[in-house]
A = this chain, B = another copy of it.
Amino acid sequence: MAPALEAQGGETLSQNSFLNSVGDVTNRSKVTVIGSGNWGSVASKLIASNTLRLSNFHDEVRMWVYEETLPSGEKLTDVINQTNENVKYLPGIKLGKNVVADPDLENAVRDANMLVFVTPHQFMEGICKRIAGKIRADAEAISLVKGMEVKMEGPCMISTLISHELGINCSVLMGANIANEIAVEKFSEATVGYRQNREAAERWVHLFYTPYFIVTAVQDVEGVELCGTLKNVVAIAAGFVDGLEMGNNTKAAIMRLGLREMKAFSKLLFPSVKDSTFFESCGVADLITTCLGGRNRKVAEAYAKNGGKRSFDELEVEMLQGQKLQGVSTAREVYEVLSHRGWLELFPLFSTVHEISSGLLPPSAIVEYSEKSPRSF
């Protein structure tokens, strides 16, 4: 099955300008992945398979690893470089011999002109400050980081943070991407959102694209990045529906209303956001994955089963072994933006999710409509 329709929606990119310019060694792109967790390791594997295959990239992919000492006493970076395996965060998967783990952040980024950021979002500001002024002037960045902070005046996008702190262009890659499924090469898709630089987007697509990982580019950084965060609020709502055992019908309706609010919220904040972005992998597909599985859905289900009597904090500690829940805090941050701007009534699902998760309303409120008849214009 060939992805023929990609050409009708999100753009697919011409290979002429890029691939046909057989890169001589001096101007080959050098890639560094900043982050080596579960998703960061899978991203390195995808990238490493392409830098070997495509002449426009240096074979070597440098991966910055936050150094840890393993129970064996060995350094994580040493083990990765000996075994080509991230034994702690992606055991059993070969990353490729051309992936080089580097514990020194500044050394890892020095020579790269393609920087791939894939760390927990709370570390991003510190990382940017450490490498500012120490990267190549012609460097381009892409962020795989989900869950930026939504502040009262609006969301603080990670791509914006990177651009401001480092003074470079930044794209994003989001989608229905469960790292462990992509690691074993199960078919999936992703969306690259770019601002203006189409050629850079083209390079990113070629860097990530494999026959089992189909990447499409759209000129809509904010739309793609907001999808990656707002879906977690909808996943909380979907979890409530599961906990209330209301069935697939109600769940599908809540997911649809959530997608509408994701679209409307994004477009109110950034008028440049495109409707079509929500039909891409970062939109409807990631929403489906997150509302079927995912930790936000799971904990919200437990919250509803307990009738809201046990707090999210308590359930998170009990159920997630130290992993953090993003949906609840994002819902609170979105709620602050909505009330700050007087938009609460326009976003009944987003605001109800926060009112339930903060204990103001019972879980059943997720489907309690105040309307007794169709609304007038």
Contact = CB atoms under 8 A, between A and B. Distances in A.
A350 to B, nearest CB: 10
A360 to B, nearest CB: 13
A225 interface: no
A7 to B, nearest CB: 6
Interface residues of A, number: 79
Contact of A14 (B211, B347, B377): B377
B1 A369 contact: yes
A312 interface: no
A211 B255 contact: no
Instruction: Specify the main secondary structure of chain A where it touches its partner.
Output: helix
A174 to B, nearest CB: 13
Interface string A342-377: 000111110010000000000001111111111111
Contacts of A374: 12-13, 15, 205-206, 209, 215
Nearest to A365: B1
A259 B5 CA distance: 11
Contacts of A128: none
A220 interface: no
Contact of A182 (B249, B275, B377): B249
22 contacts: A1-B349, A2-B369, A4-B375, A5-B260, A5-B261, A5-B348, A8-B264, A12-B374, A12-B377, A176-B256, A181-B247, A181-B250, A186-B247, A206-B374, A212-B369, A214-B369, A248-B288, A251-B289, A251-B292, A256-B280, A256-B285, A259-B284
Interface of A: 1-9, 12-16, 19, 176-178, 181-182, 186-189, 205-206, 209, 211-212, 214-215, 246-253, 255-257, 259-261, 263-264, 275-276, 278-281, 284-286, 288-289, 292-293, 345-349, 352, 365-377
